[in-house]
Amino acid sequence: MKKNEVKFICILIVFTILFYIFSSYFRVNIYDFSTKIQTFFSSRNGQIDINSNLQSNEMLLGLYDVTGEGIVIDINDGKDLIHQEDVIIMLDELKNAGAEAICVNNIRITSKSYLYCDGSVILLDGVKIGNPFCIKAIGNSEVLYGAICRNKGYINTLRDDGISIDVNTNENITMSKTNLEIIKDYDKYSTLDKYILSNKYVGKSNFYGSGLNIVIEPPKDSDLTAVTLLQLINDLNSAGANAININNQRIVCMSDIMDINSEYVLVNSIPISAPYTVNVIGNTSKLLEGLSLENSTISKLYNRNYNIEINSCNFINLQKYSKGRAQDKLIYNYMNIPEI
């Protein structure tokens, strides 16, 4: 091959790589620009009340202190039996019962929250929490109480293990806003940009960006449970995920995942089955690093002979949240902003 031909091929390869990278970048920005123009004119025409909808989004994202009726769960674990998985399951049961806001030991649960164990200590969003645990949930207090205290509920499983748990309704629960940075440099944006961004992060509009595509196929003699998917979401959040969906079901702050049988799992009350396709938007390197940890959910599934494919993607389009057969996760009736 001649020297000029080699040079031409090298230039062509470099150009192709750059085109692929920048085309994905500009595709995202074109979508954002188009959304901004449409939102601006809809606001001017009175079709959208930006300020009201923005406040609603920020409440769902955990950016406001909130108050309302609900339940308080006090857990006294004198033997350090409570672990990360136990808290994840209890939070999921509350979400399934219609909780609109949750906090654990006064730390607000958001769509980006994550838990992990550090020895005998549990960390929530990087902050140490421990015995006694106090979980508060805002929502219909009677419904929440009935769901959590039912005979086959996880609370009774923990009680059978000798853990002291008290559950009480409360007509005036107050929760502080999150200390997490849900959206980077959020306060620097204009009201219009905050509205568009909050729509994406809360799940009311599509989310575009780079990230990972993960496909999980259980072996024939095994199945994948709701708890495993919850732990995978937890791992992705700890690695800085911005948005996640599973089999095209968008994961939002109050999303719940429940087992139906060995074949189906409910995500937002919608049944899904294998193969499980998880799309996540975030920093690709950090996400891969988190999934490669020895105690990560993906590593454990590899050890159990699950067939797993992980691909980096420069452009992922996560569809907005769609309501399942049960409650709408983006509508609240019991959560309010405290009166000043």
State the span(s) of the chain assigned CATH 3.30.70.1880: 65-175, 206-318
Return the pLDDT at 268.
Answer: 93
Domain 65-175 has CATH 3.30.70.1880: yes
Token look-up 């025409």 returns 45
**pLDDT tens track for 265-300:** 999 999 999 999 999 999 999 999 999 999 999 999
The encoded tokens of residue 267 equal 């995500």
Q: Which residues contact 134 (CB under 8 A, 6 or more apart)?
A: 72, 73, 74, 75, 104, 105, 106
Segments in the chain forming alpha helices (H): 3-44, 50-61, 84-96, 141-148, 154-160, 191-202, 226-238, 284-291, 297-303
Single out the residue of 207, 191, 287 nearest to residue 32, CA to CA.
207
Each residue's pLDDT expressed in tens, for the chain with a length of 340 residues = 555 544 544 554 554 444 444 444 444 455 565 666 666 556 666 667 889 999 999 999 999 999 999 999 999 987 778 899 999 999 999 999 999 999 999 999 999 999 988 777 899 999 999 889 999 999 999 999 999 999 888 999 999 988 999 999 999 999 999 999 999 999 999 998 999 999 999 999 999 999 999 999 999 888 899 999 999 999 999 999 999 999 999 999 999 999 998 889 999 999 999 999 999 999 999 999 999 999 999 999 999 999 999 999 999 999 999 987 778 999 999 999 998 7
Identify the CATH homologous superfamily for domain 206-318.
Answer: Protein of unknown function DUF881 (3.30.70.1880)
Return the pLDDT at 334.
Answer: 97
Core vs surface per residue 215-247: b (16+ CB within 10 A) or e: ebebeeeebbebbbbbbbbbbbbbbbbbbbbbb
Query: Can you give the pTM of this predicted structure?
Result: 0.88
Token look-up 């995942």 returns 257
